[in-house]
Amino acid sequence: MTRRYICIGAIGMALISPGGRSEGERIGNVGPNHRTWMKQDERGRDVVSFIELASGLNRWSDASKSYVPASAEIEIVDGYGVFRKAQHSIIFAGHLNHPEGTIDMLLPDAKRLKSRVLGIAFADAEDNNSVFLAETVDVDGELTGNQIIYPDAFDSGVTADVQYTATISSFEQDLVIRRKFPVSPADMGLDGETCRIQIWSEFLQTPQPFKRARVIRRTPTVVEQDESLDFGSFEFTAGKAFLLGAGDNQNAANETTGIAPNQKGMGRYSGKNVLNRIHPLFKAATVFSLAAGTAGGEKGEQRRLAQRISQTLASTAKHTD
């Protein structure tokens, strides 16, 4: 089966350099997020050529007792995906519904996060009623570059993947919906115009985050509450949702661009620590009439529903030398 993904960057990594190493330059002072490049002047003295900056640029090596370049490589070790060449490390379970969680993440300050996706729900923004649409099934993960993908990860006829992406400065969990949902909010007794998609993730182990209130302005008159979750060295930043073909637009929900920021909140539900991410459905009548097909702008070509619901656990602006 050929799967098509929406490739949209959820976070940018700050990098300052002159574009390439010149002859005679060498590395001088190194820290977790910088490298100093040195060269000799006409008198043979060492002078700074430039300083390269990037979040998570280097990691500490116990073997060499020094900082070495970080890498986004994921290795397969005893059936697990292992990301261990950055300041944070991640173990990916070989299958999605592992009893100890899909993700086991060690943060740079030695705090630990274990999590797994529980399922997808519809929720009415007006009365807070919610109905579970699908739960995860126990599928095997697939390694593609610096991503682990659990394909066809849900029951109840929902065709969607759970996708994780690791970089030296961030970690991202995505839900990629590859077909229209088999049911609409109206089929489940909810109002399609006020309905939202919820993505439920359980945290089996987590430090207590510092929560900061923020708002998302959907329209000039519609403002919704959101939370920023700060774990110390890492932070849950703003997530986004996209329709296939949307540009990189940071604005609120827009039916033309098909892009919108997500709400999120963390709390206790039925004895579980749950992160609840809420994605507006734009205009439900439009979303649920989209047919599975090929993406493109040609007149008469079938439109394909593909949404990416992103939430980045990002260390950008949290790393300090």
162-212 pLDDT per residue, tens: 999 999 999 988 888 888 888 888 888 888 777 888 888 898 998 888 888
- Asked whether the beta carbons of 98 and 141 are under 8 A apart, the reply is no
Mapped onto helix, strand or coil, the DSSP state of residue 273 is strand
Average pLDDT of 99-103? 95
Overall residue count recorded for the chain in this entry: 321
Q: What pTM was computed for the model?
A: 0.77
Q: CB 80: neighbour CB atoms within 10 A? A: 17
3-class SS of residue 6: coil
- C-alpha to C-alpha distances, 122 to 96, 130, 131, 151, 194, nearest whole angstrom: 22, 5, 5, 21, 10
289, amino acid identity: S
Pick the closest to residue 224 from 194, 255, 200 (CA basis).
194
- Over residues 271-292, the pLDDT tens digits come to 777 776 666 654 444 445 443 3
Domain boundaries, the chain: 21-53, 116-314
With contact defined as beta carbons under 8 Å apart, do 186 and 197 qualify?
A: no
DSSP 19: S
Q: Looking at per-residue confidence, does 303 or 1 come out higher?
A: 1
Residue 19 neighbours by CB distance under 10 Å: 6
Neighbours of 280 (CB within 10 A): 23
Looking at residue 321, what is its pLDDT? 54
